[in-house]
Structure 1
Amino acid sequence: MTAESMTRGKYETRLDPALWAYIDAVNAWYPPEILGLPIDKQRAVYDRMSRAFHQGRPPEVKASDGLIAAPGRDIPVRRYQRAGSVARTMVVYFHGGGFILGGLESHDDICAELCAGTGFDVLSVDYRLAPEHLHPAAFDDAVAAFEWAAVRSGLPLVLCGESAGGNLAAAVAQATRRHIRAAIGQVLIYPDLGGPLLGGNDRAGSHVEHGEAPLLSLHDVAFYRDVRAAKRQSQDDPTFSPLRDTDFSGLPPTVIVTAECDPLSSDGETYRDRILGAGGKAWWHEEPRLVHSFLRARTTVPAAAAAFARIVAAVGALGRGEWPY
């Protein structure tokens, strides 16, 4: 047995060589031990990695930056529009990064491709990051962006986010479900919805099976949650942990896409079941043999490309008022 296979453990043969090449590239840019560095150092490394993986924007997509005025602050946003077409829907997009990383640049190409693939406008939200801004700062910015888009865009809205952004999208959907212009759909991509982590009797599924998966472990998730949390933060606060809500009725049609080899995957399954149990529409799909953050692998890993195509199709269907499943 080689040293490499010992390090990769049970995932050595479980994951495709092309996916391992992606994982190795991510780890070369952003190694696991970086969590021990100060947050500003982590951000600098993450931003360099994001630039290295950036695929450019489709030529038909134009982007413009702006600010949403909110009490005591301005929220930077970037709006993507496909030239030569009139959008019928706007996608409000919340980026990933564990609530401490990322911004308008880190997910620029993903948002641009989502715009190109659906024909919808995409509004990317640069919400405030921890630890400078603890919860509920990011949530407050996400709600403010939704309310701005609902009033100012004049378009139906679809909420979309990945990882930490999936948490925000779900929390916004729950908080605004009775808004006069509530979202007509939401698409959550490997979201952290506040499922169980370390200890407790409710840990199950991916939290156990994939607690040490490549690119995201339970330890990583716990670190990000701790950095985001204010003192005496309640884990039962649905704006912090959407799965801890007590009412899942009235939510928009929901599509959740997760990765099999990701400790967060069971969050998506549970969220689907809660919505279905409350009489809503929800569909959960676990992409086999993929890992957290697979969106960045969409140009080099065929399975990730297929998953991204399904995500774009789901956003497109929901934005047209159709149920894709």
Structure 2
Amino acid sequence: MLEPEIAAFVERTAAIYSHTTPLSPPEQRELYERYTAALAPQMPANVSTQDAVFESRAGHAIGLRLYRNTAAAGLARGTVLYFHGGGFVLGSLQSHQPVTARLAADTGLDIVAVDYRLAPEHPAPAAHDDCLEVTMAALRHALPFDSLSTGTLQLAGDSAGATLAAGVALRLRDEGIAGVSGLALVYPMLGTDPQKPARDTEAHAPMLTLANVHGFSDLYWGKERPYPTWTIPLEADRYDGLPPTLAIGVEHDPLRDDARVFVERMTAAGGDARLWIAAGLVHGCWRALDMSPGALALHREVCGFLRAHVTQT
């Protein structure tokens, strides 16, 4: 059963935006940006932003936005790279600002949002490559900002952004590169096909259906496989050696069990992983944190995890 406030959020969303609308990706992006702007709250008063451009080795620009809590003196400090959701096709620095700004406001950490390349114009592994390159630069303290917190780095993301965060963590592990102290995955899309039973029981869930998942997957990965296993976390060969991880699934989401399976595999490999399933919520609910008690609880879980895994240097 949907939380009543989430039912209202779903109804409000449906009046503006739907993944099933027969539009081209650019048209769908424009509609998605209008939808996210319509629901966006005011920026927290104590959060400042700074935009910058990271030049990739291949020569393309990757937009970044730093969110900083200006009232965070004396709080635990550190940096979080945030990869937004949107099925690898939608989303931007602006569309997920309600989440990234509140993370900065409520944790005291520096949040750096990453505007990676989108599919289908840039198919796999373009988004993964962008996020990996930005992460490597952050570990070298080489991001184009005047200053960042000196605590060790954490990775976070929602939906497809959680896929990117988990994939980057797997690649760093494979390369023997340390320095990421925490991994926060919110309703993650960790494979090209969702895990059962939610794959079937929530195939027609509000906000995201199984058909939507397959559509986004095909636009990014295509129907011809394989791609490197680090880009599809649930196809990895091993799950040891990953940072402490929080994986959050929501009840009414065909992707719900991706979080569970990932945590089970990490735990079986001796890792530090925790699963949190949010009852009554739907995919994309994080942006409803100002109207939904359940979404606010989800947000607080993420904030508590990120604060707990800051390592100062």
* Structure 1 outlier segments of 4+, above 4 Å: none
Confirm or deny: 8 A CA contact 2:152 2:311 kept in the other structure: no
Alpha carbon RMSD of aligned pairs, Å? 1.7
Matching residue of 2:188 = 191
Residue 158 (structure 1) aligned with residue 154 (structure 2): yes
Distance 1:69 1:195, change over 3 A: closer
Out of 120, 127, 130, the residue aligned to residue 141 of structure 1 is 130
Matching residue of 1:95 = 84
Deviations 1:2-55 (Å, cap 9, x if unpaired)?
A: xxxxxxxxxxxx113321110011111112431x21111101100001111111
Out of 270, 273, 293, the residue aligned to residue 284 of structure 2 is 293
Which structure 2 residues correspond to residues 70-219 of structure 1 after superposition, within 5 A?
70-71=56-57, 72-85=59-72, 88-152=77-141, 153=148, 154-177=150-173, 178-194=175-191, 196-197=193-194, 204-219=196-211
Aligned residue type for 1:248? Y
Aligned residue type for 1:186? L
Deviations 1:168-207 (Å, cap 9, x if unpaired)?
A: 000001101255443111000000000634xxxxx52211
Confirm or deny: 8 A CA contact 1:195 1:264 kept in the other structure: no
Out of 31, 34, 48, the residue aligned to residue 62 of structure 1 is 48
- In the superposition, the TM-score normalised over structure 2's length comes to 0.92
Partners in 1 of 2:215 and 2:107 — Cα distance? Answer: 35
- In the superposition, the TM-score normalised over structure 1's length comes to 0.88
Partners in 1 of 2:176 and 2:287 — Cα distance? Answer: 33
Confirm or deny: 8 A CA contact 2:203 2:209 kept in the other structure: yes
Matching residue of 2:229 = 238
Distance 1:68 1:217, change over 3 A: same
Partners in 2 of 1:146 and 1:32 — Cα distance? Answer: 30
Residue 307 (structure 1) aligned with residue 301 (structure 2): no
Unaligned runs of 5+ in 1: 1-13, 198-202
Partners in 1 of 2:238 and 2:230 — Cα distance? Answer: 13
Aligned residue type for 2:115? D
Partners in 1 of 2:221 and 2:196 — Cα distance? Answer: 24
Matching residue of 1:22 = 9
Residue 160 of structure 1, CA deviation: 0.2
Task: Tell me how many residue pairs correspond in the alignment.
Answer: 301
Residue 92 of structure 1, CA deviation: 0.4
Deviations 1:223-254 (Å, cap 9, x if unpaired)?
A: 0000012463316x323310100111110000
Partners in 1 of 2:113 and 2:210 — Cα distance? Answer: 27
Confirm or deny: 8 A CA contact 1:88 1:156 kept in the other structure: no
Partners in 1 of 2:5 and 2:105 — Cα distance? Answer: 26
Which structure 2 residues correspond to residues 264-275 of structure 1 after superposition, within 5 A?
264-275=255-266
Residue 320 of structure 1, CA deviation: 4.8
Q: What's the % identity of the aligned pairs?
A: 35
Question: Does 294-303 or 171-180 show the bigger shift?
Answer: 171-180
Distance 1:179 1:65, change over 3 A: farther
Deviations 1:80-112 (Å, cap 9, x if unpaired)?
A: 111144663100000011101111100112111
Residue 319 of structure 1, CA deviation: 2.1
* Higher RCO (C-alpha 8 Å, min separation 6): 2
Partners in 2 of 1:180 and 1:240 — Cα distance? Answer: 17
Confirm or deny: 8 A CA contact 2:208 2:254 kept in the other structure: yes
Question: Does 311-320 or 136-145 show the bigger shift?
Answer: 311-320
Partners in 2 of 1:299 and 1:320 — Cα distance? Answer: 29
Question: Does 289-298 or 163-172 show the bigger shift?
Answer: 289-298
Unaligned runs of 5+ in 2: 142-147
Residue 211 of structure 1, CA deviation: 1.1
Partners in 1 of 2:115 and 2:211 — Cα distance? Answer: 26
